[in-house]
Structure 1
Amino acid sequence: MTTILLSDPLVHAIRVRDNGEPLVPLPFAQAVLVRSGLAERLGRARSVLPSGVDLRVIEGHRGVADQRAIIDEYSRELRVLHPDADEVELTRLYSRFVAPVAVAPHVAGAAVDLTLVDEGGEDLWMGTPVDATPEQSGGACWFAADVDPTARRNRAVLAHALTGAGLVNYPTEWWHWSYGDRYWALMSGADHAIYGPVETGVPA
């Protein structure tokens, strides 16, 4: 099965009808802002995790400037590694790790980067650190990568909780899950996205 990346025209073609939900702090991660509907679903996901296991959310909403900064930094690395790549190919390559601004789930307040922790707050082993690029991880950042049994088991626990709450994974990043954005709409079969770009708590 071919992986659909966030740079794919299929994602850009999804309509957005923003439902106006505000950005809210996560009750269990006050520094992280997400849309209220996503916050509710993350709470639901936490409730079905095994005893002694919890979510650690590292990032939620991200401003446009921050999104562009990540794109620029990673693109510079890719240009060195792929000097013959044109802009279309470069966009495809960087979208394995960071979304084009126009369709970025984080910019819509629709995505979280997260992992699992034990009851002492220590990260469980997931095969790679959060935010390991395809190059840094040798491809192990892909959710379905051939990782060791402990990491595979922990990824399955994470996926069970989050998919059960209605989120979808971006397959090149085991830690990235979203709800309500264009990628979610495409993957879930929804007629349209319900979250578009948002800044300072006011939907665009």
Structure 2
Amino acid sequence: MTLVSEPQTVTIHTADNHEPLVDLRDVPELRLARRLAGEHGGYARLRTSVVDRLLSAQKRLPHGIRLLIVEAYRPYRPDELDLPDPHHTGGAVDVTLCTGDGTELDLGSRVLDGPEASANACYTAARNISIAALRNRANLWTVLRREGLTNYPTEWWHWSYGDRYWALNNGVPNTLYAPVTVELP
């Protein structure tokens, strides 16, 4: 398993196609969890192509199941970090599944619970989860992979498109998206 911080990932050339960020609060087809909502909705922004892929993926889910976006863009300040977070590109998203009314489905652990808090159930390939959680993860995996997103294997909920980890896993020499600074009101 290759991690985001390993040399083969961080040495991927960073390029940017200048695709705009979309405010997911303006995309009613996608549900947003509000638990990490910043005052200005910075968490609710993704690159246009990623939004299009999520919308397409959602159409492939079983009837009554929807994507629930927990977090997307994280505000970026170039002087703060040596290694930018994938969320700084607007190409990474923390996503789970929910019912039409927003009730989260069982995927084996809570989004953002690490190995200790989840008894390692946070790993995408975890087997210490219920049959229902395995089925739900398989649904999420199938629809997002079909749309070209890449999963980070230590976090079943973390998916990306166009960032360094995506480029590495798809044999692409450079990213589509670089970290971007967004002026929030």
Q: TM-score range, shorter-chain basis?
A: 0.7 to 0.9
Shift of 1:192: 1.1
Please point out which of 156, 159, 170 is paired with 2:141: 159
With a CA cutoff of 8 Å and minimum separation of 6, indicate the structure with the bigger relative contact order.
Answer: 1
- What residue identity is the alignment partner of 2:14? V
Could you tell me which residue of structure 2 aligns to residue 127 of structure 1? 108
Percentage of matched positions with identical amino acids: 43
In structure 2, relative to structure 1, the CA distance for the partners of 1:167 and 1:101 (3 Å cut) is farther
Tell me, in whole angstroms, the C-alpha distance in 2 between the residues paired with 1:63 and 1:167: 21
Shift of 1:191: 2.1
Matched, 1:172 2:172: no
Tell me, in whole angstroms, the C-alpha distance in 2 between the residues paired with 1:169 and 1:181: 12
In structure 2, relative to structure 1, the CA distance for the partners of 1:115 and 1:101 (3 Å cut) is farther
Looking at CA atoms only, which structure, 1 or 2, has the larger radius of gyration? 1
Please point out which of 16, 20, 26 is paired with 2:18: 20
Shift of 1:48: 0.7
Asked if the contact 2:76–2:182 (Cα under 8 Å) also holds between the matched residues in 1, the reply is no
Please point out which of 63, 87, 91 is paired with 1:106: 87
Shift of 1:188: 1.2
TM-score by length of 2: 0.85
Tell me, in whole angstroms, the C-alpha distance in 2 between the residues paired with 1:118 and 1:144: 23
Tell me, in whole angstroms, the C-alpha distance in 1 between the residues paired with 2:59 and 2:84: 30
What root-mean-square deviation, in Å, do the aligned CA atoms of Structure 1 and Structure 2 show?
1.6
User: Where does structure 1 lack aligned partners over 5 or more consecutive residues?
Assistant: 69-99
Shift of 1:104: 1.8
Asked if the contact 2:50–2:161 (Cα under 8 Å) also holds between the matched residues in 1, the reply is yes
TM-score by length of 1: 0.77
Determine helix, strand or coil for the equivalent of 2:142.
helix
Tell me, in whole angstroms, the C-alpha distance in 2 between the residues paired with 1:25 and 1:164: 24
Q: Which has the higher helix share?
A: 1
Determine helix, strand or coil for the equivalent of 1:116.
strand
Could you tell me which residue of structure 1 aligns to residue 59 of structure 2? 47
- What residue identity is the alignment partner of 2:4? L
Could you tell me which residue of structure 2 aligns to residue 35 of structure 1? 47
